[in-house]
Structure 1
């Protein structure tokens, strides 16, 4: 089989290798991976800026979708031919996460899925939505599930509330689509007028260009009669967290869903109204397999289709990573196997 391997830190060090197809052990299934999507996490793992303990050669990527090609002994949940998506936090099957369920993440503690075949424990998969292609379903494991877990499980999104989404990355676009399906009003921020039009086409009720309005939190307040939004997912970290806090109303929810501008958060309890407005700051990192299955049912019922920026062939893996690194994409970047 073919598999992408990283031989050292740096996108230029990706190679396509010929490897032996793995054989599933008891309680494992062999998945023929059809498509993989990339996350910002994949870029910072590859360039060595986040996690230094990778063992080379390293097979990257956490998000994938495929077909079960064979099953090991004692497997009861799946059959050959089932369409499945990868559960990123493998042991988080349901409920709240704990130390045990949080210790195995795909492409950290296990090899990644940028390979024609991978062996996965039977509990580490979910049924792929029937209305999605392999390429679309491959975008769900991290970005879509993070947005779902944040809005539905943590923020308790309700009909008629207002949600602020930030930018045009995967988490933000999924949050927009989920919020609209749930009957919420959505305000979005972005960097260009072209991206603003894309956001409006996806259902955003109002869009703020943060290059034109650097203090965009004031625009958010203006659009909500001075009240602020109920929920926002902050995807940039250092440069945006203060404005996110100033954008939400009393008892508002701010989910930290990324750190593309830095991980050190410059916060002042009084200036940013954390205590006086009873604000909630919630860390986010995907969700359980049970939540993933609920998300997929909602995707089928509402016929939600992920936004894909570009699909690259396996041979252009470096180009796919560089596209994500540039930050000019709208939606998810996918590699087709």
Structure 2
């Protein structure tokens, strides 16, 4: 079978296409999956692009979707022919206490899904949404579940709420779609007027170009008659957090899910305290969150936005396109 291996020295030059022995037959409690698709996330890019990020060679990619080829003894949840999709934190089945590191995350702490076949414990995957392609299903593992947890699980999203989404990456577009499907108002930001036109087509009620309006937090306040957004899906980190605090209403919810602008920076703590806001860091979600999200996707009819797809042997090209920032929604990997 074919797979991509990221050599230990790291960096995109260290990605190697290999032809290796097939995945083993599943043992008790395991399934063997023919992987057909993955999708790119910022976490995958960090793992692959930073020299020295890993101490050992690793098969990259945390997302994987495909078909069950064989089941081991004792597996009753899945059968041969079922479409399944991976889970970001395989050991986090349910409950509020999620992992605080990536030691069990595919493509980081353990080998990921940039390969044609994989044998894993059955609880490492869930069923895919009914009627979805493998490429579509591969988008839910990281980006989709993150948006679901930010707005629904932790945010308690209700019809009539106002949601602010930053940028047009996979998490933000999923958050926009979820918010609209659940009866919320959405204000979206981007540095591209062309992309802002596209988010309006997806249902955004108001848009802001943050390059031409650097005080976009105040603009969100203005657009909400001074009240602010009930939820802010914060993907930028240090360079955007102050504006997100301004944008959120008093006692509002800010879901900190990304660090696109850096790993650390100043936080206007006095303003955060005075406005009594809830700033919550989160990383994806549990297996139960993903199962509930799949049900919600089938009920609402939401389908993911995939900008373009790359073949397995051009994973480097996919990462380079991701780094350019030109994509809208998700980037797929066909395997």
Cα distance in 2, alignment partners of residues 200 and 330 from structure 1: 13
2:82: which partner in 1? 82
CA gap of 1:177–1:34, structure 2 versus 1, over 3 A, is: same
Give every structure 1 segment of 4 or more consecutive aligned residues whose post-TM-superposition deviation is greater than 3 Å: 98-103
Partner residue, 2:109:
109
**Which one of 298, 301, 306 corresponds to residue 300 of structure 1?**
298
In 2, the alpha carbon distance for the partners of 1:172 and 1:232 equals 10
Alpha-carbon distance between aligned partners in 1 of 2:105 and 2:229, rounded to the nearest angstrom: 33
Q: What secondary structure sits across from 2:308 in the alignment? A: strand
Distance in 1, Cα, partners of 2:151 & 2:293 = 11
State the alpha-carbon separation in 1 of the partners of residues 242 and 94 from structure 2. 32
Residue 92 of structure 1 contacts residue 102 of structure 1 at CA under 8 Å; is this kept in 2?
no
Q: Note the 1:315-334 alignment, pairs <5 A.
A: 315-334=313-332
**Alignment correspondent of 2:283:** 285
Whether 2:205 is the aligned partner of 1:205: answer: yes
Question: Structure 2: how far apart are the matches of 1:254 and 1:306?
Answer: 23
CA distance in 2, matches of 1:154, 1:27: 32
CA drift of 1:265 comes to: 3.1
User: Which residue in the other structure is 1:185 paired with?
Assistant: 185
Q: Any conservation in 2 of the 1:42–1:61 contact (CA below 8 Å)?
A: yes
CA contact (8 A) 2:129 2:295 kept: yes
User: For structure 1, which runs of at least 5 residues remain unmatched after alignment?
Assistant: none
CA contact 2:47–2:54 (8 Å) conserved in 1: no
2:28–2:75 Cα contact (<8 Å) kept: yes
Instruction: Please list the CA deviations of residues 209-243 of structure 1 after superposition, one character each: whole Å capped at 9, or x if unmatched.
Output: 01110111111011000110000011010100010
Alpha-carbon shift at residue 101 of structure 1 (Å): 10
Shift of 1:103: 5.1
- Inter-partner Cα distance in structure 2 for 1:186 and 1:213: 18
Residue 137 (structure 1) aligns with: 137
How well do the aligned residues superpose, as a CA RMSD in angstroms? Answer: 1.5
Structure 2 partner of 1:230: 230
Deviation at residue 93 of structure 1 after TM alignment: 1.1
Cα distance in 2 for partners of 1:16, 1:243 equals 43
Aligned 1:1-337 pairs, distance under 5 A: 1-7=1-7, 8-23=9-24, 24-48=26-50, 52-56=53-57, 58-98=58-98, 104-270=104-270, 273-337=271-335
CA contact under 8 A between 2:63 and 2:138: conserved in structure 1? yes
Q: SS of the residue aligned with 1:109? A: coil
What's the offset of the Cα at 1:133? 1.0
Secondary structure at the aligned position of 2:38 is classed as: strand
